[in-house]
């Protein structure tokens, strides 16, 4: 997608994100990291109406049957394995994806398990597993299909009032930004985050094409802002060296896509950030696993910002 150009991947990511994160129909849990990008792209390519997925076994457990001739989407399940343990003793067992979305993150860590020391005492194992969209499965109970259809019509549960419409999308974005309480200063030629001052700098709002582009650009810089040492403390120098800055821009691009989709900023553009595409591609060509890292950090930034959103005002 990246090699097709910014107008392609940005439009596809945000359009897919506007329908919410892919979820496992059996467990209700969202998928994480690079699996999100894979499932988003497949849903758009095939024209699927929902973002609900399941493994072959899960479809059978729900009373359904994957139609003959349908092909699954290969995703990646990461798990932390203690050094010296055999493959048969590794946690998670079986690459069918039954455990996916139940606490295992795309980087292999588990909620409440391990920590910084865990990365030094074990290694990551990647198991492939295959997912099928709801549209590829026959025979599911009517209640399951009806609930999925309702979710597809209503859109993401967290999309905000009037998501997909400019006013609602802008309101949603501003509630995210206000909840983070970042220092935002206006009156500059370009948009940027200045780590040394821990502040976001933007042109005056009237310099943007419209309010939606202003919000999209603000959300992009807000993802950068989450990387400060007092927050998520992102630092890529040890791994990417001179390319660390370009890699951080890829994290912000992905994080902004997640946030824009969440708010319903489907037609918006992040202004002033078109020059990084070739640098991202160079990083990804040199390190084929870098997209997993970028997607994981983008997901962490999305969660961090979303958790601090100002609540909607009650009516009356």
Q: Is the pLDDT of residue 207 over 90?
A: yes
Write out the two tokens for 103.
Answer: 């606490």
CA 309 – CA 172 distance, rounded (Å)? 9
pLDDT digits (tens, 9 = 90+) for 103-126: 344 433 333 333 334 445 678 788
Write out the two tokens for 72.
Answer: 């699954």
pLDDT digits (tens, 9 = 90+) for 59-117: 999 999 999 999 999 999 888 888 765 444 433 333 343 344 433 444 333 333 333 34
pLDDT digits (tens, 9 = 90+) for 156-170: 444 333 334 445 899
CA 262 – CA 245 distance, rounded (Å)? 26
Q: Is the pLDDT of residue 176 over 60?
A: yes
Q: Is the pLDDT of residue 216 over 70?
A: yes
pLDDT at 308: 96
Looking up tokens 């039954």 gives 98
pLDDT at 93: 34
| Phi, psi torsion values for 50, nearest 5 degrees | -125, 165
Burial class (CB in 10 A: 0-12, 13-18, 19+), 162: middle
pLDDT at 159: 38
pLDDT at 269: 86
Contacts 24+ apart (CB under 8 A), 97-102: 97/55, 97/58, 97/129, 97/130, 97/131, 98/55, 98/57, 98/58, 100/24, 100/29, 100/31, 100/35, 100/55, 100/75, 100/129, 101/23, 101/24, 101/27, 101/29, 101/30, 101/31, 101/32, 102/27, 102/29
Nearest Cα neighbor of 148 from 24, 9, 243, 8 is: 24
């Amino acid at each position: 997608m990246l090699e097709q150009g910014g107008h392609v991947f940005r439009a596809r990511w945000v359009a897919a994100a506007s329908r919410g994160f892919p979820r496992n129909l059996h467990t209700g849990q969202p998928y994480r990291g690079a699996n999100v990008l894979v499932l988003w792209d497949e849903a758009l390519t095939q024209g699927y109406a929902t973002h609900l997925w399941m493994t072959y076994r899960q479809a059978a457990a729900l009373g359904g049957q994957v139609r003959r001739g349908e092909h699954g989407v290969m995703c990646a399940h990461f798990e932390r394995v203690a050094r010296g343990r055999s493959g048969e003793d590794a946690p998670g067992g079986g690459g069918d994806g039954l455990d996916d979305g139940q606490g295992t993150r795309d980087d292999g860590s588990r909620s409440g398990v391990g920590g910084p020391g865990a990365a030094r005492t074990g290694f990551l194992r990647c198991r492939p597993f295959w997912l099928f969209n709801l549209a590829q499965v026959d025979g599911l109970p009517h209640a399951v299909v009806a609930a999925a259809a309702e979710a597809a019509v209503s859109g993401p549960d967290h999309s905000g009032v009037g998501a997909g419409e400019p006013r609602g999308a802008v309101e949603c974005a501003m509630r995210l930004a206000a909840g983070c309480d970042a220092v935002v200063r206006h009156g500059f030629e370009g948009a940027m985050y200045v780590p040394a001052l821990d502040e976001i700098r933007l042109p005056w709002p009237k310099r943007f094409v419209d309010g939606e582009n202003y919000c999209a650009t603000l959300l992009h810089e807000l993802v950068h802002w989450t990387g400060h040492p007092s927050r998520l403390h992102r630092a890529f120098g040890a791994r990417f060296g001179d390319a660390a800055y370009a890699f951080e821009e890829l994290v912000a691009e992905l994080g902004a896509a997640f946030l824009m989709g969440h708010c319903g900023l489907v037609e918006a553009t992040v202004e002033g950030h078109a020059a990084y595409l070739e640098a991202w591609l160079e990083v990804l060509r040199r390190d084929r696993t870098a997209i997993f890292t970028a997607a994981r950090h983008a997901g962490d930034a999305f969660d961090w910002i979303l958790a601090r959103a100002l609540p909607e005002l009650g009516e009356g």
